[in-house]
């Protein structure tokens, strides 16, 4: 891991130094665990007190958060308008990602005679590449990857150990598959017959992943029944996400872990889907939609809305409902007390009538 002077980090990140520009930082650390040689960051103003008490040598934060601190002279600071994004870049500086692999083919790999490998490919141990598959320039297939027949993979892709791409699916350039990801598994299509037999519907389509898509560990993107399941350019799909057959996801959308997207749903561009959400089939979700974690989407949504809860409602309504739910025990007691008072009043009134 590299070490950096604060001034050098500021130059690389486009940040402004407040404090000692010659301070040497040896690595990143969270605010509550950082020491004098560490860089930490503050992106959420709720944690200003933690930033103020942190032992970090320097903290990356917004100018407004720095101005709100009571004792900013306690350490050095890096000021940046987007500290979260800047800290991500700092992590890459301290821990440069591996970008180069030797152009070698491990002797244990099994490669069909008519498979095509572009210049500079790396093929790791026990990789299987079936008939008619083509792999683009400088793509990397790590141990145990399986590339089925007639698959097309673009340039500079990285397929981590144990990932699979099923027959005829297409990956664009710079696609990343994390460990255990499965692209093109058969969609969940069955037709119950009058005789009680459940018949499998052949899944004849493919999956298309556009350029710069990343699929998380053990996530599954099912092939279409007919046509294609499509993931747009730059989409980021987290671990353990299920994308069903014929789903279309627009460019730049992010889907957090444990989310399930049912068949033929359409998600727009630049959506953010919170973890453990569920989206019903055949719905249309507009561009720029944000779903809170554990959302259940049972109706289509227009562009730009923020939804949460199950069934999902506007974020504001969800907060109001959540606040009301917390008051239910007290409200129930109040109603019970009122019922008892009313019963006593009615009993007294009945006695007077007699």
Catalytic residues: 245
CA distance 200 to 245: 14
CA distance 144 to 179: 10
Token representation of residue 318:
């969800």
Peptide bond into 311 cis (omega under 30): yes
Q: Which residues contact 196 (CB under 8 A, 6 or more apart)?
A: none
CA distance 17 to 80: 9
SS (H, E, C) 55-100: CCCEEEECHHHHHCCCCHHHCEEEECCCHHHHHHHHHHHHCCCCCC
Cβ count within 10 A of residue 82: 15
CA distance 45 to 347: 58
Residue 185's DSSP bridge partners are 222
Cβ count within 10 A of residue 121: 22
Token representation of residue 354:
């007699």
292 neighbors 275 (Cβ within 8 angstroms): no
Residue 59's DSSP bridge partners are 40, 77
């Amino acid at each position: 891991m590299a070490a950096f002077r604060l001034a050098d980090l500021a130059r690389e990140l486009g940040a402004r130094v407040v404090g000692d520009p010659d301070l040497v930082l040896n690595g990143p650390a969270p605010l509550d665990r950082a020491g004098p040689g560490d860089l930490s960051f503050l992106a959420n103003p709720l944690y200003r007190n933690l930033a103020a008490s942190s032992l970090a040598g320097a903290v990356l934060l917004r100018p407004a958060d720095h101005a709100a601190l009571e004792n900013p002279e306690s350490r050095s600071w890096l000021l940046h308008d987007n500290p979260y994004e800047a800290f991500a870049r700092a992590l890459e500086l301290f821990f440069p990602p591996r970008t180069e692999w030797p152009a070698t083919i491990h002797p244990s790999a099994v490669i069909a005679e008519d498979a095509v490998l572009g210049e500079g490919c790396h093929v790791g141990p026990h990789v299987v590449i079936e008939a008619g598959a083509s792999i683009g320039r400088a793509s990397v297939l790590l141990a145990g990857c399986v590339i089925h027949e007639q698959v097309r993979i673009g340039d500079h892709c990285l397929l981590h150990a144990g990932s699979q791409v099923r027959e005829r699916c297409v990956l664009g350039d710079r696609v990343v598959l994390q460990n255990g990801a499965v692209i093109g598994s058969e969609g969940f299509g069955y037709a119950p017959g009058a005789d009680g037999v459940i018949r499998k519907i052949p899944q004849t389509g493919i999956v298309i992943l556009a350029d710069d898509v990343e699929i998380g560990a053990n996530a599954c993107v099912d092939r279409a029944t007919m046509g294609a399941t499509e993931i747009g350019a730059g989409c980021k799909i987290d671990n353990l996400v299920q994308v069903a057959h014929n789903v279309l996801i627009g460019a730049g959308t992010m889907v957090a872990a444990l989310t399930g997207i049912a068949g033929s749903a359409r998600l727009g561009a630049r959506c953010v889907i919170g973890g453990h959400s569920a989206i019903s089939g055949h719905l249309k979700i507009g561009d720029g939609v944000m779903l809170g974690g554990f959302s259940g989407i049972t109706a289509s949504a227009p562009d730009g809305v923020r939804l949460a809860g199950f069934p999902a409602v506007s974020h504001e309504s969800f907060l109001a409902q959540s606040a009301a739910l917390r008051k239910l025990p007290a409200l129930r007691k109040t109603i019970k007390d009122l019922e008892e008072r009313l019963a006593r009043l009615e009993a007294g009134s009945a006695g007077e009538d007699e």
